[in-house]
Structures are given as structure tokens and as C-alpha cells.
Amino acid sequence: MKAMILYLQENASTKLYGTLGSVTTSVSYVDLRIANAIVLAEDTNNCNIREGVVISRLSPQISAKVIQPFSIQLFLSEEGYMAVSTLCNICELEKTRGDAVRSYLCSLVGELVWLQKHEKSLSRPLQEELNRISTYIS
């Protein structure tokens, strides 16, 4: 299966997404909805999130930056696509691949914020999860 590389950069002239061995497409306006571009890749079940990607959430309005690349795995189910990764126990189910990736990234930022807010009272497994997530996004 082809690996998907998802580029979500603020610089509109930057290549935004593409699959290995394919032509990469650029667009002039960038936000997390561009994750729908994943649908264009055939047989994609792995989305690689690159260093430097800024993940934004509208509610609450926060953002985080990817400081180390990581992968999101996509699985087809009867209800749609499920996005998961080894970073934490988040699982997002959406109708499209792009929506699943977008929801996963937003949930990951939300998880990081919550863990940071409650850091002093976290159990050991949650402290380990905070450390693991913080290794990849900040």
C-alpha cells in the first residue's frame, strides 16, 4: 500500500499533500479541511504527518505544532473510516478518510491540552501518554 504524506503548512506555496510515487498538488488556501485530499490516494491506510505541521482547533481555539513526524493509521469499517495511532488511545470514526484524519488531529491537540492542564494529578499511564504525545507535538 502507498504511504500517504500529508502536508499542512501555513505557506500556501508549499506542497500540501501527495502520495509516494505520485504527483504532488498545491493549493492556495490551507486549513485542516485539506485532509480530504487523502481520499485521492488509492489504497491509503497510513497517513504520515510531517514535522512543522500546525494543527489548529476552533473550539477551544488552540493550536499545536508537530515537532517529530508520526503516522495515523486508517481502517475502513461499516460506518466509515477509523483513524488511530500509537501516540495515544484516541480513535476517531468519520465518513471520509480526510474527516477521520482531521478529527484525529484535533482530538490529539485536545488530549495534549487536557493532559498538560491536569499534569500534577495524572496517573502514571497518563503521565507516560503526556510524555509520548509531547515528543511529537507541542
What pLDDT is stored for residue 96 in this prediction?
85
What pLDDT is stored for residue 44 in this prediction?
67
Which residue did the predictor score with more confidence, 66 or 43? 66
DSSP structure string for 7-69:
---S-TTS--EEETTS--B--SS-SGGGGGGGGGSTT--EEEEPTTPEEEETTTTEEEEBSS-
Q: Closest Cα partner for 35 from 10, 74, 8, 62?
A: 8
What average pLDDT score do residues 25-36 get? Answer: 37
Q: What is the pLDDT of residues 62-105, one digit of tens each?
A: 889 999 999 899 999 999 999 999 999 999 999 988 888 888 99
Give the model's confidence band at 7: pLDDT under 50 very low, under 70 low, under 90 confident, else very high: very low
What average pLDDT score do residues 45-61 get? Answer: 82
What average pLDDT score do residues 27-38 get? Answer: 40
Give the model's confidence band at 134: pLDDT under 50 very low, under 70 low, under 90 confident, else very high: very high
For the entire predicted model, the pTM comes to 0.71
C-alpha span between 99 and 35 (Å, rounded) = 7
31 grid coordinates: 486549513
Q: What is the mean pLDDT of the chain?
A: 74
Has residue 127 got a pLDDT over 50? yes
C-alpha span between 17 and 38 (Å, rounded) = 8
CB 101 within 8 A of CB 83: yes
C-alpha span between 20 and 6 (Å, rounded) = 11
CB 74 within 8 A of CB 44: yes
